[in-house]
């Protein structure tokens, strides 16, 4: 019998080679060298994930690859090569031929990444026109709408004509993904592409990213969501303080992590630890006032009933007119009660009315029908002057903190402004601001920085410090952890639990991360298309959901798919 030797499968050629990448900044920035000696290679049809804490160098690494590290950045590498092209030293004209067409890039901050003065459709269509991929006119409009539909944007024709601020956070993020996919690049770099997405749209986008791998495209995924990474990545780099501390296949990293920092990241995932246990391995967070008792343990269990109603809404309705002139009802007959010391989790798809409902609870938007009572008294029916005296008792953490900051103010001034009504000396106020920064994991070195000098995660921590500064009775949290890495998220989750237990704070907690919602909430309200479809205790919603919609949300939650949680014998979502 003729012996046929086995077919030799040639190794995949490297599409991107990065060897000893270093990125440093000017001497006026305390970070100095942000990336030190990062090396990896990437092949077509493969996904490399880069994970690590905020400030670990993940985003700087990705920006350096596409020549967007910044004017003050000094980028050095033994090799930075894309498909035979040396990327070091490319001029602006050469980058225009590579960036977008050959290497697509999804920015982390959707509000900054989109031009606030241009409809999102024009933003997406710009790349198509710049690279002559399509002629202007009806053909361009069809391509833009098709791209928006591809990433799950509802009413794509309408949304294409809207400005970024008229879209939800998730819709803005999907618009950025559509723009990055417009020219079908050979490599897609996605920096936190799913943080602002609800679980069902996230599942759709992850499927889209997996499809790009099947089509032979390469993917660099930067994400704080380790469950997302475990689903899609082939190889994982773990970065800490600018260096790679662990690398390996996704199976290896998630089943048998070798570095203590990697194990710490995995332990901080809410669905990887029992409910009621402290997530943070950092020193226990403490409320911003002297306490006589230790807070080293979270309350073993929260009470099933709560005393007084601190915030209530009855039949809230809100309508907005779209660019097509059609009046749409975005909140339709929503009612709820929030009791003292209780956390009400609010979940639902992007555009379901969650944030609009929250703005009415804060009386930042007034309802067209219905009313809100705060601490037993009228709230939305008051004048702005009448509400001003009670504003400190209800606070908010926004999904996009940059839009709520004065860019000229320093971090110290932003937080100190929340303490303006407290009877404190200058020294006491300064000390209080430092204590608040410490609570959210920031050092005093951040006091004199301005918002644009901070990473997305650092800005979110400043927003949290500002919100808790006056010790309000209620905090409305609108996607407060969307830009935080799992370690800082764990620390802040523990802080919020401590504040609730010992200062009797109440939270309306809006989040796409159902693992976080389950960890923190006492009751959960599920919204869809402006209406409440289901309300119940945490266990009723997560263990015995009644509606198909809620069941679908829970089924779409990404999980750590490769065994770390199972090996640790921790309960999972």
CA neighbor of 354 nearest in space, from 223, 533, 499, 492: 533
The answer on 322 and 229 residing in a single domain is: no
The answer on 246 and 156 residing in a single domain is: yes
Q: What is the mean pLDDT of residues 132-149?
A: 87
pLDDT surpasses 70 at 464: yes
The answer on 257 and 331 residing in a single domain is: no
The answer on 90 and 30 residing in a single domain is: yes
Q: What is the mean pLDDT of residues 323-340?
A: 91
Q: What is the mean pLDDT of residues 44-55?
A: 91
Q: Could you read off the pLDDT of 278-302 as tens digits, one per residue?
A: 776 544 334 444 333 333 444 444 4
**Number of independent structural domains in the chain:** 2
Exposure of 5 in the CB half-sphere (CA atoms within 13 A): 3
Q: What per-residue confidence (pLDDT) applies to 70?
A: 82
Q: What is the pTM of this model?
A: 0.76
By percentage, how much of the chain surpasses pLDDT 90? 46
Give domain status of residue 567, yes or no.
no
Q: Could you read off the pLDDT of 250-288 as tens digits, one per residue?
A: 999 998 999 999 998 888 887 655 566 677 654 433 444
Give domain status of residue 3, yes or no.
no
Q: What per-residue confidence (pLDDT) applies to 247?
A: 95
pLDDT surpasses 80 at 47: yes
Q: What per-residue confidence (pLDDT) applies to 291?
A: 37
Among 243-247, 311-315, 377-381, 511-515, the least confident range: 511-515
Q: What per-residue confidence (pLDDT) applies to 79?
A: 94
Contact 73, 251 (CB under 8 A): no
- Average of per-residue pLDDT values in the chain: 84
Residue 194 binned pLDDT confidence (cut-offs 50, 70, 90): confident
pLDDT surpasses 90 at 228: no
CA neighbor of 410 nearest in space, from 449, 375, 381: 449
Q: Could you read off the pLDDT of 403-443 as tens digits, one per residue?
A: 889 999 999 999 999 887 767 888 899 999 999 998 888 89
Among 113-117, 132-136, 397-401, 558-562, the least confident range: 558-562
Give domain status of residue 72, yes or no.
yes
For 184-256, strand residue ranges (E) read: 187-191, 218-222, 235-240, 243-249
> Residue 322's domain spans which residues?
309-557
The answer on 242 and 94 residing in a single domain is: yes
Last residue within a domain, chosen from 261, 295, 321: 261
Last residue within a domain, chosen from 236, 261, 286: 261
pLDDT surpasses 90 at 400: no
Q: Could you read off the pLDDT of 553-570 as tens digits, one per residue?
A: 998 887 775 454 444 433
**What CATH number is given to the structural domain containing 257?**
3.40.50.300
Q: What per-residue confidence (pLDDT) applies to 176?
A: 87
Coil, strand or helix at 413: helix
Residue 367 binned pLDDT confidence (cut-offs 50, 70, 90): very high
CA neighbor of 226 nearest in space, from 257, 187, 186, 198: 257
Residue 3 binned pLDDT confidence (cut-offs 50, 70, 90): very low
Regarding predicted confidence, which is higher, 26 or 435?
A: 435
H or E stretch including 484? none
Coil, strand or helix at 69: coil
Q: What is the mean pLDDT of residues 321-331?
A: 86
pLDDT surpasses 70 at 6: no
Residue 538 binned pLDDT confidence (cut-offs 50, 70, 90): very high
Give domain status of residue 267, yes or no.
no
Q: What per-residue confidence (pLDDT) applies to 302?
A: 45
The answer on 247 and 382 residing in a single domain is: no
Contact 483, 192 (CB under 8 A): yes
Q: What per-residue confidence (pLDDT) applies to 32?
A: 63
Q: What per-residue confidence (pLDDT) applies to 106?
A: 87
The answer on 229 and 356 residing in a single domain is: no
Regarding predicted confidence, which is higher, 119 or 440?
A: 119
The answer on 318 and 399 residing in a single domain is: yes
Give domain status of residue 570, yes or no.
no
Residue 445 binned pLDDT confidence (cut-offs 50, 70, 90): very high
Residue 245 binned pLDDT confidence (cut-offs 50, 70, 90): very high
Q: What is the mean pLDDT of residues 473-492?
A: 84
Long-range contacts from 366-369, C-beta under 8 angstroms, 24+ separation = 367/316, 367/317, 367/318, 367/331, 368/317, 368/318, 368/319, 369/315, 369/316, 369/317
Q: What share of the chain is helix, strand, coil (3-state, %, to 5)?
A: 35, 25, 40
Q: What per-residue confidence (pLDDT) applies to 439?
A: 82
Q: What per-residue confidence (pLDDT) applies to 279?
A: 73
Coil, strand or helix at 325: coil
Show the 3-state SS of 495-522. Answer: HHHHHHHHHCCEEEEECCCHHHHHHHCC
Q: What per-residue confidence (pLDDT) applies to 281?
A: 52
Q: List all residues 6 or more positions away from 272 whose beta carbon is below 8 Å from its beta carbon.
A: 266, 560, 564, 565, 568, 570, 572
Give domain status of residue 343, yes or no.
yes
Beta bridge mates, 477: 397, 509
Q: What is the mean pLDDT of residues 5-30?
A: 69
The answer on 325 and 250 residing in a single domain is: no
Last residue within a domain, chosen from 233, 261, 289: 261
Contact 273, 264 (CB under 8 A): no
Q: Position of tokens 């400043």? A: 462
Give domain status of residue 2, yes or no.
no
Give domain status of residue 62, yes or no.
yes
Q: What per-residue confidence (pLDDT) applies to 222?
A: 92
The answer on 41 and 128 residing in a single domain is: yes
The answer on 476 and 361 residing in a single domain is: yes
Among 125-134, 342-351, 374-383, 519-528, the least confident range: 125-134
The answer on 360 and 240 residing in a single domain is: no
């Amino acid at each position: 019998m003729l012996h046929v030797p086995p077919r030799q499968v040639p190794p995949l050629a490297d599409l991107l080679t990065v060897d000893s990448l270093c990125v440093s900044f000017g001497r006026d920035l305390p970070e100095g060298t942000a990336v030190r000696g990062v090396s990896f290679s990437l092949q077509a049809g493969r996904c490399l994930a880069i994970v690590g804490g905020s400030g670990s160098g993940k985003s700087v690494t990705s920006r350096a690859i596409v020549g967007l590290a910044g004017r003050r950045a000094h980028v050095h590498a033994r090799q930075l090569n894309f498909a035979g092209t040396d990327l070091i030293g490319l001029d602006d004209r050469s980058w225009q031929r590579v960036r977008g067409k050959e290497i697509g890039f999804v920015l982390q901050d959707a509000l900054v990444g989109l031009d606030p003065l241009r409809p999102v459709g024009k933003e997406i269509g710009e790349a198509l026109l710049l690279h002559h991929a399509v002629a202007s006119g009806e053909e361009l409009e069809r391509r833009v709408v098709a791209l928006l539909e591809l990433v799950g944007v509802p009413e794509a024709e309408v949304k294409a004509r809207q400005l970024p601020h008229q879209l939800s956070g998730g819709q803005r993020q999907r618009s950025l993904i559509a723009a990055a996919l417009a020219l079908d690049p050979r490599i897609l770099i996605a920096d936190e592409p799913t943080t602002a997405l609800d679980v069902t749209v996230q599942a759709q986008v992850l499927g889209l990213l997996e499809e790009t791998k099947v089509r032979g495209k390469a993917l660099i995924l930067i994400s704080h969501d380790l469950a997302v990474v475990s689903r899609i990545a082939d190889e994982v780099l773990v970065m800490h303080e600018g260096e790679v501390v662990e690398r390996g296949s996704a199976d290896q990293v998630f089943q048998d992590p070798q570095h203590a920092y990697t194990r710490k990241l995995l332990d901080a995932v809410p669905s990887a630890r029992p409910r009621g246990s402290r997530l943070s391995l950092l020193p226990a967070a403490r409320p911003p006032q002297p306490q006589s008792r230790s807070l080293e343990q979270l309350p073993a269990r929260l009470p099933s009933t709560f005393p007084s109603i601190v915030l209530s809404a009855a039949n809230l309705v809100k309508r907005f007119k779209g660019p097509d002139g059609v009046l749409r009802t975005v909140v339709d007959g929503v009612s709820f009660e929030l009791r003292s010391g209780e956390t009400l989790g609010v979940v639902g798809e992007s555009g379901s009315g969650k944030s609009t409902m929250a703005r009415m609870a804060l009386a930042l938007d007034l309802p067209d029908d219905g009313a809100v009572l705060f601490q037993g008294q009228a709230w939305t029916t008051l004048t702005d002057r009448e509400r001003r005296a009670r504003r400190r008792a209800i606070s908010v953490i926004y999904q996009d903190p940059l839009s709520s900051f004065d860019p000229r103010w320093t971090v110290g001034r932003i937080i100190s402004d929340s303490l303006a009504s407290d009877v404190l000396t200058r020294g006491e106020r300064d000390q209080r601001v430092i204590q608040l920064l410490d609570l959210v994991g920031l050092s005093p070195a951040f006091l004199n920085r301005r918002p644009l000098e901070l990473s997305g995660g650092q800005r979110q921590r400043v927003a949290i410090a500002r919100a808790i500064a006056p010790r309000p009775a209620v905090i409305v949290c609108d996607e407060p952890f969307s830009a935080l890495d799992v370690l800082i998220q764990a620390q802040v989750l523990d802080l919020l639990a401590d504040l609730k237990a010992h200062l009797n704070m109440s939270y309306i907690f809006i989040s796409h991360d159902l693992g976080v919602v389950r960890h923190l909430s006492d009751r959960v309200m599920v919204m869809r298309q402006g209406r409440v479809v289901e309300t119940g205790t945490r266990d009723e919603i997560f263990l015995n959901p009644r509606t198909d919609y809620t069941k679908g949300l829970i089924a779409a939650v990404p999980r750590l798919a490769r065994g770390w949680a199972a090996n640790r014998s921790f309960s999972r979502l």
